[in-house]
Structure 1
Amino acid sequence: MTLQQLKYVIEVVNCGSINEAAKKLFISQPSLSNAIKDLEAEIGIEIFLRSAKGITLSIDGSEFLGYARQVVEQAGLLEQRYLHQKPSRQLCAISTQHYAFAVNAFVNLIKGSGAEEYEFTLRETRTYEIIEDVKNLRSEIGILYMNPFNQKVIEKLLRENRLDFHPLFTASPHIFISTRNPLAAQTSVILEDLQEYPYLSFEQGEFNSFYFSEEILSTVFHKKSIHVSDRATLFNLLIGLNGYTISTGIVSADLNGDNITSVPLQVDDRIQVGWIASHQIQLSKQARLYLDELKKVIQDYGVPLLE
């Protein structure tokens, strides 16, 4: 087993395919495949499961990856300390539902990294894909919410994929609307107040289950409904069409401007936001630093943490 082989495994996981990893490593695809097969033969496990659709980490491979990342990270520290080499390229990947506070924390992570080289990834994506990303270790951390409606389904899916949910905070439901919306002057709203306004939500693709919705009350009928795929489009439509969406109430003026506001929604429900990770691996230093920044941002908004 060599350090180079460990780096090969990590790069394949980061890229999601052997072909793409070989390109980034500037080696041939057969050479990379053979190096990984030799490693698997030496340690007696299958790191990757191979099929016509591509490769995925095996259960044993997920555990192996955790150790490999630690070894490579420690080797980088040794090189910096004793060989006077420049700091190693920092890596971190996060998958999240469409939360501005998750982006704020990511910005702070990068600003505070001080690294000469880094390759960070932030995926604002669909609920099911967040779970898939973390299960397959494309991302170390996923950020999503649970409430009484979706909790049993989400928890079952996390258990099946050996993922743990760590609560961050619990929020009362709010609507996000334009500051020019007539409802912006109200101290709170009820569902009946919203009937004539377009309802905006994030589409969930082929896994378009009520339980995977990013918005609570996903089974409520709306006379006017618009599905979008990104946060910028959603906020533009909130302003252009006087629409609304339902979320945590945490609005970032830095990212969304000062023309979006939140108003409490009077419903008997709660939104518990947390992060998920595989319990088979230890988080990297950068992932742990991201969580620290995430908690700071949440507290800066005046929201008490659950941990």
Structure 2
Amino acid sequence: MKLHQLRYVIEVVACGSINEAARRLYISQPTLSKAIKELEKELGITVFTRTSTGISLSSDGAEFLGYARQVVEQADLLERRYFNTVPSRQFFSVSTQHYAFAVNAFVEMIKKHGEDEYQFTLRETRTYEIIEDVKNLRSEIGILYVSAFNEKVMLQLLKEEDLDFHVLFTAKPHIFVSSQNPLAKKPAVTLADLEEYPRLSFEQGEFNSFYYSEEIFSTISSKKSIQVSDRATLFNLLIGLNGYTISTGILSSDLNGSDIIPVPLAEEEVITVGWVVHKKTQLSRMAKVYLDELKLFIQ
């Protein structure tokens, strides 16, 4: 087993394609495929499952990837310490529901720990896709929430996909509204107070189950309902239409300005936000750094 073979596996996972990985590694596709097959033969496992539509990590491959990342990171540290080599390009990806604090932590991670070369990915996406991304190791970490309503279904689904859920924090629900919205002046609001205002939520595509919703109380009907696909659009509609959305209440004025504010929602419910990871992987150094920044920001 050679160090460059480990780097090859990491690059293929990052690219999701052998052809693209070969291009970035400046080697031919047959050379890359041969190196990986030789590694699989030596290890006695199948790292990548090959189908007519592409490749994906096997269960054994997911476990191997965690160790490979750690070995490559340590090798890079040794080379930089004793040979003054240029740092290798860093890799890290996270998939998250539409949370501003996830972006804040991502920014701080790059500011404090980004080297001269890196390839980082932040996917604000749908709940189902977060689970798929982490399951297939397209992302190391996923960030999503559970509540009394969806907890049993979500945790069972994560278990079936070999994913672990780790609690980041619990919060009472809030609404986000424009600072000019009449509701912004209230110390707290009820669901009854919201009836005449447009409710904004994130659409979940073909997996539009109530259990996948990013907002609690999704089963309660609303006279005015708008679904969007991104956070910027949602914030613009909050301002333009005096709408509201229900979330954790954690918002950063540094990134989001002061036009949107949180107001407590006086309902008996708790939101538990956590991060998910594949059971068979070991977190990379950048994943650990990101989690540290995430926890610092939340605190």
Please report the TM-score for the alignment, with normalisation by the length of structure 2: 0.97
Q: How far apart, CA to CA, are the structure 1 residues paired with 2:30 and 2:116?
A: 32
Q: How far apart, CA to CA, are the structure 1 residues paired with 2:216 and 2:79?
A: 49
Give the gaps of 5 or more residues in structure 1: 300-307
SS in structure 2 of the partner of residue 169 of structure 1 = strand
Q: In the alignment, does 2:226 pair up with 1:221? A: no
Counterpart in 1 of 2:140? 140
Counterpart in 2 of 1:205? 205
In the TM superposition, 1:1-307 aligns within 5 A as 1-113=1-113, 115-299=115-299
SS in structure 2 of the partner of residue 207 of structure 1 = coil
Measured after TM superposition, the shift of residue 186 of structure 1 is: 0.9
Letter in 2 for 1:120: F
Measured after TM superposition, the shift of residue 5 of structure 1 is: 1.2
Q: How far apart, CA to CA, are the structure 2 residues paired with 1:38 and 1:156?
A: 37
Measured after TM superposition, the shift of residue 278 of structure 1 is: 1.5
Measured after TM superposition, the shift of residue 90 of structure 1 is: 1.8
Q: How far apart, CA to CA, are the structure 1 residues paired with 2:114 and 2:68?
A: 24
Q: How far apart, CA to CA, are the structure 1 residues paired with 2:186 and 2:80?
A: 57
Measured after TM superposition, the shift of residue 237 of structure 1 is: 0.4
Q: How far apart, CA to CA, are the structure 2 residues paired with 1:208 and 1:30?
A: 41
Identical-pair percentage: 70
Letter in 1 for 2:123: R
Letter in 1 for 2:13: V
SS in structure 2 of the partner of residue 180 of structure 1 = coil
Letter in 2 for 1:259: D
Measured after TM superposition, the shift of residue 17 of structure 1 is: 1.5
Give the gaps of 5 or more residues in structure 2: none
Measured after TM superposition, the shift of residue 114 of structure 1 is: 5.1
Q: How far apart, CA to CA, are the structure 2 residues paired with 1:279 and 1:204?
A: 25
Please report the TM-score for the alignment, with normalisation by the length of structure 1: 0.94
SS in structure 2 of the partner of residue 34 of structure 1 = helix
Measured after TM superposition, the shift of residue 279 of structure 1 is: 2.1
Bigger mean CA deviation after superposition, 34-43 or 127-136: 34-43
Q: How far apart, CA to CA, are the structure 2 residues paired with 1:59 and 1:136?
A: 9
Root-mean-square deviation (Å): 1.2
Measured after TM superposition, the shift of residue 38 of structure 1 is: 1.8
* Per-residue deviation, residues 147-180 of structure 1 (Å, max 9, x unmatched): 0111111111111121111111111111100011
SS in structure 1 of the partner of residue 50 of structure 2 = strand
Contact kept in structure 1, 2:17 and 2:54, CA below 8 Å: yes
Q: Number of paired residues?
A: 299
SS in structure 2 of the partner of residue 205 of structure 1 = coil
